[in-house]
Amino acid sequence: MVEVICDTSFLIHLATKRIKNISTFETEIGSLQFLLPDVVANELENLSKNEKKKHDVLSAIDYSQKLKKIPISGKFADKALIDYVKQHGGIIGTMDKELKDMIKKNGGSVISFSNDRIVLES
């Protein structure tokens, strides 16, 4: 089981887009388990008040109900995820370019989406 810690942008994408290659991707690297950090759940709650993003965010909140929750907390999701990777390593799912670079600099791996396909970056 490959655990992927989701950030907010990744989770919204996962919940609202059809991912074309998830089964072949899982064949290559193993079965994926998406994890929901507390800090991301809190960020989604706050974003749900934004009228422009509300629909997608509510889809992500609904989708996240079936994910395993993990105790990563903090005021800012990006900083909390970087701190976690520094200490524990791991794979973070994100669409955020700056966060991707920081995760890789700190020894983590990144899963993201490109053209509705899931990709592993290292």
Are 97 and 81 in contact by the 8 Å Cβ rule? The answer is: no
pLDDT at residue 30, rounded to an integer: 86
Q: Is the pTM of this model over 0.85?
A: yes
How many domains does the chain divide into?
1
Task: Provide the token pair at 13.
Answer: 């994408």
Full residue range of the structural domain in which residue 111 is found: 2-121
pLDDT of residue 23: 82
List pLDDT tens digits, range 91-111: 999 999 999 999 999 999 999
Q: What is the pLDDT of residue 60?
A: 96
Per-residue pLDDT of the chain (122 residues; tens, 9 = 90+): 899 999 999 999 999 998 888 888 888 888 899 999 999 999 999 999 999 999 999 999 999 999 999 999 999 999 999 999 999 999 999 999 999 999 999 999 999 999 888 999 87
Q: Do 64 and 36 contact (CB within 8 A), yes or no?
A: yes
What CATH number corresponds to the domain at position 75? 3.40.50.1010
